[in-house]
Structure 1
């Protein structure tokens, strides 16, 4: 079983619009509403790949209830800790015609979490690690949660001999290596904010020196950079997939998590992860991926 942690769960709303007029009225051609947050998206991809998953995190209020109902309807097992505050909604406005194919994201900050609520979650999290093959800790932190919480969660997993992947930004990313996660997965911009002034490879080496087992940097159409204990690898894409990039990083993380539980060689992990990320761009909603794009691009990715 792969456990995914989403402390800032959300109800993701996606508007598909032919061409966005930012100064006028827009007619929405399709609306998608589903449980979201980065860990939920990871779980959806893993479930589609036939893996047993368990979603955990914090949920509260009417929005939290809607999230739980959608997880049940999607057949995604969950063990959520209730909070008093209302969970957040996110909005993606995605153009599906025209030359740009742009997507704009609007992310609410999330509820205020009390120390008692967080302590309750931590107790449950520790018990859920029993039987987990890996844990994915990802996304933003809701208000009231300490910035080093992902380091704490990774350290608890390490004590339980469960490999952890952390996908975060800002201060949570800077603190994460202290928890000795197996993999830290920033994108290029997140890495530059966390460790400014160096090349991506230099910054990734710095995070490894602080405790991360490996650092995998997603670089969009430039593929992946992985700095690991076995060496440095690059995954290069044969072509650029156009579409909605929301959730592409989560699909990529799902591939890395699968590689962890299978103990796959790094080239194989990176090829699958990069292919899943690209295939997610071709899908209209975060948490999905296009299997035809995956099958086409996977054998064409080069690893050096």
Structure 2
């Protein structure tokens, strides 16, 4: 937190909140906080990777960390309490070797309960959903996210992908069960200025559902074969830190799909309320206990 940001000036800040993060870890952290079983799969390298591992161990979030040579990247978020704006500074993600990408994929297969012979492990341990979240570093395999969708479907579970650019297009073509861009990411990826048309094109590529964050206008939900779309909006915008709100929405959608919920309205209500509740917390990866009350306040309309 910082009381006003003036470019070119020095600023004094209180003790920062350090936390193992990244979009996928935020999703797991929110689900874990709400009492749902989760397994986080990510890479870790260098001194920052050791810090990430220590934090995850202390949090109690089950995880599989894939060792890599490059240091885990860091992100800094400044919440300006005067303007109400949050500024985020992301380090570039380190490139991974081919062997490291293979190890990451193997960790996902293992998490899904697969065996080296391609068979299934104990069906009682089968997960309910696979989530792939975040941007990929330079040199990432173009088929990484489509590969995750294929792995999920071969394991008999839905796949949620939250990314941007070419990755969201390839995930749609692979038949992702739900995509979760914000409105800027969606329109940029589709080369569209009309959000509804952009979502339609994304489903035309093969995506089954699309949830789109639209800031103070709430969240929109689209489903292939369903005419129009739904919008969920609070009566008034919330003040707070929006960092991680989209990840909380993804966690909600994952919980819904894993629990067998397929009704678009219910998925939207849970995702919008958890996303809003994340704004009321100081850091990404948690939501306010007020999420149930926010869900009751949501105005959901058909368009």
In the TM superposition, residue 230 of structure 1 has moved relative to its aligned partner by 5.9
1:238 lines up with 2:235 in the alignment: yes
1:121 to 98, 104, 121: 104
1:258 to 236, 255, 260: 255
Q: Distance in 2 between matches of 1:103 and 1:146?
A: 32
1:147 lines up with 2:160 in the alignment: no
Q: Distance in 1 between matches of 2:192 and 2:2?
A: 39
TM-score (norm 1): 0.90
* Stretches (4+) displaced over 6 A: none
TM-score (norm 2): 0.91
Do 1:218 and 1:225's aligned partners in 2 also have CA atoms closer than 8 Å? yes
Q: Distance in 2 between matches of 1:212 and 1:197?
A: 17
Q: Distance in 2 between matches of 1:295 and 1:159?
A: 34
Q: Equivalent residue for 2:214?
A: 219
Q: Equivalent residue for 1:273?
A: 271
Matches within 5 A, 1:40-51: 40-51=25-36
1:109 to 92, 99, 102: 92
1:228 to 223, 231, 235: 223
Q: Distance in 2 between matches of 1:253 and 1:197?
A: 24
Q: Distance in 1 between matches of 2:130 and 2:109?
A: 11
Do 1:92 and 1:105's aligned partners in 2 also have CA atoms closer than 8 Å? yes
* Structure 1, unpaired ranges of 5+: 1-15
Matches within 5 A, 1:92-107: 92-96=77-81, 98=82, 100-107=83-90
In the TM superposition, residue 159 of structure 1 has moved relative to its aligned partner by 1.6
Deviations 1:30-74 (A, max 9, x none): 301010000111111111111001000211111111101100101
Do 1:17 and 1:30's aligned partners in 2 also have CA atoms closer than 8 Å? no
Secondary structure of 1:133's match?
A: coil
* Structure 2, unpaired ranges of 5+: 114-125
In the TM superposition, residue 85 of structure 1 has moved relative to its aligned partner by 0.8
In the TM superposition, residue 94 of structure 1 has moved relative to its aligned partner by 1.1
Matches within 5 A, 1:1-304: 16-96=1-81, 98=82, 100-130=83-113, 131-229=126-224, 231=226, 232-264=229-261, 265-292=263-290, 294-304=291-301
Secondary structure of 2:39's match?
A: strand
Do 1:129 and 1:162's aligned partners in 2 also have CA atoms closer than 8 Å? no
C-alpha RMSD of matched pairs (Å): 1.4
In the TM superposition, residue 91 of structure 1 has moved relative to its aligned partner by 0.6
In the TM superposition, residue 198 of structure 1 has moved relative to its aligned partner by 5.0
Deviations 1:3-22 (A, max 9, x none): xxxxxxxxxxxxx1122232
Do 2:169 and 2:205's aligned partners in 1 also have CA atoms closer than 8 Å? no
Do 1:238 and 1:297's aligned partners in 2 also have CA atoms closer than 8 Å? no
243-252 or 149-158, larger mean C-alpha shift = 149-158
Q: Distance in 2 between matches of 1:115 and 1:52?
A: 30
In the TM superposition, residue 167 of structure 1 has moved relative to its aligned partner by 0.4
Q: Distance in 1 between matches of 2:39 and 2:49?
A: 17
Secondary structure of 2:132's match?
A: strand
